[in-house]
Structure 1
Protein backbone atom coordinates (compact mmCIF):
# COMPACT_ATOMS: atom_id res chain seq x y z
CA UNK A 1 0.00 0.00 0.00
CA UNK A 2 2.76 2.46 0.78
CA UNK A 3 2.87 5.40 3.17
CA UNK A 4 -0.23 7.56 3.71
CA UNK A 5 -0.48 10.66 1.51
CA UNK A 6 1.10 13.82 2.85
CA UNK A 7 -1.53 16.08 1.28
CA UNK A 8 -5.26 15.72 0.91
CA UNK A 9 -6.81 15.87 -2.55
CA UNK A 10 -7.98 19.41 -1.81
CA UNK A 11 -4.48 20.48 -0.77
CA UNK A 12 -2.98 18.99 -3.92
CA UNK A 13 -5.57 20.83 -6.00
CA UNK A 14 -4.53 24.07 -4.28
CA UNK A 15 -0.92 23.33 -5.22
CA UNK A 16 -2.01 22.81 -8.83
CA UNK A 17 -3.90 26.14 -8.79
CA UNK A 18 -0.82 27.88 -7.39
CA UNK A 19 1.36 26.37 -10.13
CA UNK A 20 -1.10 27.47 -12.83
CA UNK A 21 -1.49 31.00 -11.44
CA UNK A 22 2.27 31.47 -11.17
CA UNK A 23 2.76 30.25 -14.74
CA UNK A 24 0.10 32.66 -16.05
CA UNK A 25 1.86 35.52 -14.25
CA UNK A 26 5.10 34.62 -16.01
CA UNK A 27 6.75 32.74 -13.14
CA UNK A 28 6.62 29.07 -14.10
CA UNK A 29 7.24 26.63 -11.27
CA UNK A 30 9.93 24.03 -11.82
CA UNK A 31 10.50 20.83 -9.86
CA UNK A 32 12.90 22.52 -7.46
CA UNK A 33 10.41 25.32 -6.69
CA UNK A 34 7.65 22.78 -6.12
CA UNK A 35 9.86 20.60 -3.92
CA UNK A 36 10.89 23.62 -1.81
CA UNK A 37 7.27 24.74 -1.43
CA UNK A 38 6.20 21.25 -0.37
CA UNK A 39 9.13 21.18 2.08
CA UNK A 40 8.06 24.54 3.56
CA UNK A 41 4.45 23.40 3.98
CA UNK A 42 5.52 20.16 5.67
CA UNK A 43 7.95 21.96 7.98
CA UNK A 44 5.52 24.75 8.92
CA UNK A 45 2.67 22.32 9.62
CA UNK A 46 5.02 19.84 11.34
CA UNK A 47 3.52 16.99 9.31
CA UNK A 48 4.96 13.51 9.67
CA UNK A 49 6.64 12.24 6.50
CA UNK A 50 8.66 9.18 5.56
CA UNK A 51 11.49 11.49 4.44
CA UNK A 52 14.09 12.54 6.97
CA UNK A 53 14.68 15.85 5.19
CA UNK A 54 10.97 16.55 4.46
CA UNK A 55 11.70 17.00 0.77
CA UNK A 56 9.55 15.16 -1.74
CA UNK A 57 11.54 12.62 -3.69
CA UNK A 58 11.59 11.78 -7.37
CA UNK A 59 8.87 9.14 -6.93
CA UNK A 60 6.53 11.62 -5.19
CA UNK A 61 7.11 14.16 -7.94
CA UNK A 62 6.40 11.59 -10.67
CA UNK A 63 3.20 10.43 -8.95
CA UNK A 64 2.09 14.04 -8.38
CA UNK A 65 2.54 14.85 -12.08
CA UNK A 66 0.78 11.62 -13.03
CA UNK A 67 -2.20 12.51 -10.81
CA UNK A 68 -2.38 16.01 -12.31
CA UNK A 69 -2.07 15.55 -16.06
CA UNK A 70 -3.01 19.21 -16.68
CA UNK A 71 0.46 20.15 -15.39
CA UNK A 72 3.26 19.54 -17.82
CA UNK A 73 6.99 19.99 -17.65
CA UNK A 74 8.40 22.41 -20.16
CA UNK A 75 11.74 24.02 -20.68
CA UNK A 76 11.48 27.77 -20.81
CA UNK A 77 13.22 29.68 -23.53
CA UNK A 78 14.98 32.91 -22.73
CA UNK A 79 13.88 35.87 -24.84
CA UNK A 80 16.61 38.26 -25.78
CA UNK A 81 16.14 41.90 -24.87
CA UNK A 82 15.48 43.07 -28.44
CA UNK A 83 12.53 40.66 -28.83
CA UNK A 84 11.19 41.74 -25.46
CA UNK A 85 11.05 45.40 -26.55
CA UNK A 86 8.98 44.84 -29.70
CA UNK A 87 5.71 46.76 -29.59
CA UNK A 88 2.48 46.26 -31.52
CA UNK A 89 3.37 49.34 -33.59
CA UNK A 90 6.67 47.73 -34.60
CA UNK A 91 4.84 44.61 -35.74
CA UNK A 92 2.24 46.56 -37.73
CA UNK A 93 5.00 48.50 -39.53
Structure 2
Protein backbone atom coordinates (compact mmCIF):
# COMPACT_ATOMS: atom_id res chain seq x y z
CA UNK A 1 0.00 0.00 0.00
CA UNK A 2 2.89 2.38 0.69
CA UNK A 3 3.93 2.05 -2.94
CA UNK A 4 0.64 3.65 -3.97
CA UNK A 5 1.38 6.80 -1.99
CA UNK A 6 5.07 7.40 -2.84
CA UNK A 7 5.87 8.58 -6.33
CA UNK A 8 9.46 7.74 -7.21
CA UNK A 9 11.62 10.17 -9.18
CA UNK A 10 8.68 12.46 -9.97
CA UNK A 11 9.31 16.20 -9.94
CA UNK A 12 7.43 18.08 -7.29
CA UNK A 13 5.36 20.45 -9.41
CA UNK A 14 3.81 22.35 -6.52
CA UNK A 15 5.21 23.79 -3.31
CA UNK A 16 6.73 20.94 -1.35
CA UNK A 17 8.17 20.56 2.12
CA UNK A 18 10.88 18.30 3.42
CA UNK A 19 10.10 15.74 6.13
CA UNK A 20 11.98 17.97 8.59
CA UNK A 21 9.76 20.97 7.73
CA UNK A 22 6.59 18.88 8.03
CA UNK A 23 7.80 17.44 11.35
CA UNK A 24 8.42 20.92 12.74
CA UNK A 25 4.95 22.12 11.68
CA UNK A 26 3.24 19.04 13.13
CA UNK A 27 5.28 18.89 16.32
CA UNK A 28 6.72 15.44 15.67
CA UNK A 29 10.12 14.07 14.79
CA UNK A 30 11.50 13.78 11.28
CA UNK A 31 11.79 10.02 11.72
CA UNK A 32 8.08 9.82 12.59
CA UNK A 33 7.22 11.67 9.38
CA UNK A 34 9.43 9.27 7.42
CA UNK A 35 7.69 6.29 9.08
CA UNK A 36 4.29 7.75 8.17
CA UNK A 37 5.47 8.11 4.55
CA UNK A 38 6.76 4.51 4.54
CA UNK A 39 3.46 3.26 6.02
CA UNK A 40 1.49 5.09 3.34
CA UNK A 41 -0.22 7.45 5.79
CA UNK A 42 1.31 10.52 4.15
CA UNK A 43 2.02 10.75 0.42
CA UNK A 44 5.39 12.01 -0.72
CA UNK A 45 7.35 12.48 -3.91
CA UNK A 46 10.86 11.17 -4.03
CA UNK A 47 13.30 13.66 -5.57
CA UNK A 48 16.56 11.77 -5.97
CA UNK A 49 17.03 10.21 -2.55
CA UNK A 50 14.97 12.83 -0.70
CA UNK A 51 11.27 12.79 0.10
CA UNK A 52 9.17 15.89 -0.55
CA UNK A 53 5.62 16.31 0.70
CA UNK A 54 3.34 18.47 -1.49
CA UNK A 55 1.59 21.29 0.37
CA UNK A 56 -1.85 19.85 -0.47
CA UNK A 57 -0.83 16.50 1.03
CA UNK A 58 0.56 18.21 4.15
CA UNK A 59 -2.77 20.01 4.61
CA UNK A 60 -4.74 16.78 4.07
CA UNK A 61 -2.58 14.88 6.53
CA UNK A 62 -2.71 17.69 9.10
CA UNK A 63 -6.53 17.76 8.92
CA UNK A 64 -6.61 13.96 9.25
CA UNK A 65 -4.46 14.13 12.39
CA UNK A 66 -6.69 16.85 13.89
CA UNK A 67 -9.81 14.80 13.09
CA UNK A 68 -8.33 11.72 14.75
CA UNK A 69 -7.36 13.69 17.85
CA UNK A 70 -10.83 15.24 18.08
CA UNK A 71 -12.50 11.84 17.76
CA UNK A 72 -10.20 10.32 20.38
CA UNK A 73 -10.80 13.12 22.88
CA UNK A 74 -14.55 13.59 22.30
CA UNK A 75 -15.67 11.01 24.91
CA UNK A 76 -13.35 12.55 27.52
CA UNK A 77 -14.65 16.04 26.80
CA UNK A 78 -18.28 14.88 26.99
CA UNK A 79 -17.62 13.11 30.28
CA UNK A 80 -16.01 16.24 31.72
CA UNK A 81 -18.80 18.52 30.52
CA UNK A 82 -21.75 16.30 31.34
CA UNK A 83 -20.35 14.26 34.22
CA UNK A 84 -20.79 10.93 32.48
Higher RCO (CA-CA < 8 Å; seq separation 6+): 2
Which structure shows the higher helix fraction? 2
Which structure shows the higher strand fraction? 2
